Amino acid sequence: MSRYFFKRLRDEFRRRLPFDRALLKGYSLPPLRIDIELTHNCNLKCTMCSFVDGNEINKYFSNPKRSKHESAEEFPSIKRWKRFIDDISSFNPTINLSGGEPLIYPHLWELLDLLKEKRFITTMTTNASLITEDVAEKLIRSDIDALVISIDGDRETHDRIRGVDGSFDKALQGIKNIKAVKTALASKTPRLVINSTISWENYSDLSFVKKLFAEIRPYKWNISHLFLGNGDMALKDLSVLYNERDDIKPLKDIYGRIDTAALGKEIRVLRSASLPISFLPSIEGEKLKTFYEDPAKTLRNKCSYPYFSVGIQGDGTIITCMYTPMGTIDDDFRSIWNSDRYKEFRQMLNGKLFSKCSRCCGLYE
């Protein structure tokens, strides 16, 4: 309880009073959250995933590094992770493990042990299809605080989006396994958070959320609008990114498949349900129309993400939100976080957002 309370208090204080952004010329206090994309490999093949080689999203919105299959030798050893975790422990960030599918990461359990030792608040984003009873027990014993599980429709829609028959039933079974083991071990954690991503495949019928809510009883349910960035941009010089939007045609094609009147209706029904359902971003009416019909236009003009969060790739590269490599987990983290390059990057954002920012989830966090 107190572990959550004091961390939340500290994090809220930083978010509400971002004096470093206002005053310190790109210098930032340590990040509140570290997102580790443990692997880009996955057992599913979702239609809207930039890691899935060959789908149209991957074609337009990924870069070669993100979409290639990684072999076990490319992942850092647990010794390298241990050094990194010791290095960051003094500022106690929340750690979010994602992928690809984190449950297929070869060093997952040893890494979770290290995180547990430091008492970090740890969350994991998973498709849940690999959570057998045995895996559920290991997750609960690892003291993971929350699991964010993706469910994008009823059985038929979810399987179509995920690209693999049977993935809905497996995800639901995974959730049941977690709940059963939590009860057996009298554990309050992990909290179950369900995430649904709106796409051209499901926007016209979100009734599955209410139906499944009664069955799953999650801690909360997040509905995320469609976010797409252009991965290729990470390979370009940052200064080019201010004005260039060479991916605008595919963005328009893909967002244009969503009828905002039909989606708006679905959102209103869910909002009236009095359930803990949140939307990222929380938009209706004209803003919803702009989001899908004019994807080059940003709905906010400032982003604090590079002051609060940092990403790490499966090979140990430390990256900005633009996928710009800044260092590795073998470097001294604080020197990387406030290197001249990182400070220059943050200062550029004080001027105006990058073109890629318009449909990036970080802008709305």
Binding site for ligand SF4 (CB under 6 A): 42, 44-46, 49, 51-52, 99-101, 127, 303, 305-306, 321-322, 349, 353-354, 356-357, 360, 362-363
Q: How many CB atoms lie within 10 A of CB 296?
A: 12
In the complex with ligand SF4, the residue whose CB is nearer, 143 or 177, is 177
Helix (H) or strand (E) holding 351: helix 340-351
What is the β-pairing status of strands 94-98 and 220-224? unpaired
In the complex with ligand SF4, the residue whose CB is nearer, 144 or 322, is 322
Q: How far is the CB of 362 from ligand SF4 (least distance, A)?
A: 2
Q: How far is the CB of 141 from ligand SF4 (least distance, A)?
A: 24
In the complex with ligand SF4, the residue whose CB is nearer, 154 or 365, is 365
Q: How far is the CB of 348 from ligand SF4 (least distance, A)?
A: 9
CB burial string 18-55: b at 16+ within 10 A, e below: bebbeebebebbbbbbbbbbbbbbbbbbbbbbbbbeeb
In the complex with ligand SF4, the residue whose CB is nearer, 2 or 301, is 301
Q: How far is the CB of 160 from ligand SF4 (least distance, A)?
A: 12
How many Cα neighbours within 13 Å face the side chain of 142?
24
Give the CB-nearest residue to ligand SF4.
Answer: 362
Q: How far is the CB of 339 from ligand SF4 (least distance, A)?
A: 17
Torsion angles phi and psi, residue 35, rounded to 5: -100, 115
In the complex with ligand SF4, the residue whose CB is nearer, 128 or 263, is 128
In the complex with ligand SF4, the residue whose CB is nearer, 182 or 359, is 359
At a CB cut-off of 8 Å and minimum separation 6, what does 190 contact?
123, 124, 139, 140, 144, 145, 146, 147, 178, 182
d(CA 176, CA 7): 30
Q: How far is the CB of 280 from ligand SF4 (least distance, A)?
A: 13
Dihedral through CA 337, CA 342, CA 345, CA 350, nearest 10? Answer: 50
In the complex with ligand SF4, the residue whose CB is nearer, 101 or 159, is 101
Q: How far is the CB of 345 from ligand SF4 (least distance, A)?
A: 9
Cis bond upstream, residue 100 (ω within 30)? yes
Q: How far is the CB of 162 from ligand SF4 (least distance, A)?
A: 6
In the complex with ligand SF4, the residue whose CB is nearer, 44 or 206, is 44
d(CA 296, CA 274): 33
Residue 79 in contact with residue 20, Cβ under 8 Å? no
- Report, in angstroms and rounded to the nearest whole number, the Rg of the chain calculated over CA atoms: 20
